[in-house]
Amino acid sequence: MKLREEYTCPLELVHDMIRGKWKPIILWRLRLGATSLAKLERDIEGITQKMLSEQLKELMDYGFVGKKTYEGYPLRVEYFLTEDMGMQMLEAIKIIQRIGIQYMKEHGMECDLIEKGVVPE
């Protein structure tokens, strides 16, 4: 995704960098540690390999995700949150997650949290 040249504020810029259905989910999954493309695809229900690859490329372009390639056969590649921007974005996503949990609890959706394996705080 190409970023615009003008923004009202920095928040608008960051919103454009992580907007969409999949980017926050990918970042949230990477909190568990470095992993392969195939494992990410298995862990994120509903995402296609093509979409995952596109979203990872954008997240790498913006500096949120890094990629490590290991020598040898078969070729092995792992994706991970970067120490700087990736970990900072994870902190923001954790706050968003807590707000979502709170909202669901206040609106009688605690069963959905339990069903999805999210322990209500």
Higher pLDDT, 62 or 114: 62
Higher pLDDT, 116 or 19: 19
List pLDDT tens digits, range 70-111: 988 888 999 999 999 999 999 999 999 999 999 999 998 888
Cβ contacts of residue 79 below 8 Å, gap of 6+? 30, 34, 35, 36, 37, 40, 56, 65, 66, 67
Domains of the chain: 10-115 (1.10.10.10)
Given a cut of 80, is residue 118 above it in pLDDT? no
Region label for 3, one of left (φ > 0), alpha (ψ between -120 and 50) or beta (otherwise)? beta
